[in-house]
């Protein structure tokens, strides 16, 4: 069991792995059922090491600082970052109204809840209109479904560290707003087609 000494929450003990990505693994915390910690992987392949060095350096701290700058109108859609240092991020685990843990969109396969899809649409249009290129938002692993009631479902984004062209540094057209806008639109259309019930 890996231990993490945090500034605000003291000594925490990472328990079970509950998620993972290219750079970090996410663990539940022993005796803290509502919290989880993302820890930078100690072993990365050469390509990931280069990406981490040039594009993801201090990514945990950047994610924490980014959360603090998210506009209030869309902030409820982003899972709060409670604390961050170079090697970890402490955050909440999204919960449903009945106390159960929310699940990623990918685990739901197809979603027919109209309120949920209206929120996704509102989020997408706000990002587009304000030129906030959060490419990782429209992702079945990064967006969770939080059931605030039996009918009121909300999208909650749990990973948003990759912002703008650094998410895809080899795609030169992302140096221009038009390229970013087109990419965000494509990702939105694909996300809806893949996960919205009735869409093909």
Q: What is the pLDDT of residues 74-126, one digit of tens each?
A: 999 999 999 998 888 899 999 999 999 999 999 998 999 999 999 999 999 99
pTM: 0.84
What mean pLDDT value characterizes the chain?
86
Instruction: Classify domain 1-93 by CATH number.
Output: 3.30.200.20
Q: What is the mean pLDDT of residues 117-137?
A: 94
Nearest to 121 by CA among 54, 185, 75: 185
- Give 65's contacts (C-beta < 8 A, 6+ positions apart): none
CB 12 within 8 A of CB 6: yes
């Amino acid at each position: 069991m890996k231990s993490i000494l945090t500034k605000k929450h003291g000594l925490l003990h990472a328990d079970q792995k509950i998620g993972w990505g290219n750079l970090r693994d996410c663990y539940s915390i022993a005796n803290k059922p509502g919290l989880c910690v993302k820890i930078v992987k100690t072993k990365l392949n050469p390509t990931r090491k280069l990406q981490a060095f040039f594009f993801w350096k201090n990514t945990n701290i950047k994610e924490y600082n980014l959360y603090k700058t998210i506009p209030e109108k869309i902030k409820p859609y982003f899972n709060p970052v409670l604390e961050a240092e170079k090697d970890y991020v402490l955050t909440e685990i999204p919960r449903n109204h009945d106390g159960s843990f929310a699940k990623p969109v990918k685990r739901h396969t197809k979603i027919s809840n109209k309120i949920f899809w209206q929120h996704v649409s509102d989020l997408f249009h706000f990002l587009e209109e304000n030129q906030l290129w959060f490419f990782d938002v429209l992702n079945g692993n990064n967006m969770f479904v939080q059931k605030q009631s039996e009918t009121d479902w909300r999208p909650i984004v749990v990973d948003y560290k990759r912002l703008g062209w650094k998410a895809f540094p080899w795609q030169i057209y992302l140096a221009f707003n038009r390229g970013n806008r087109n990419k965000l639109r494509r990702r939105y259309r694909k996300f809806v087609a893949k996960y919205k019930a009735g869409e093909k």
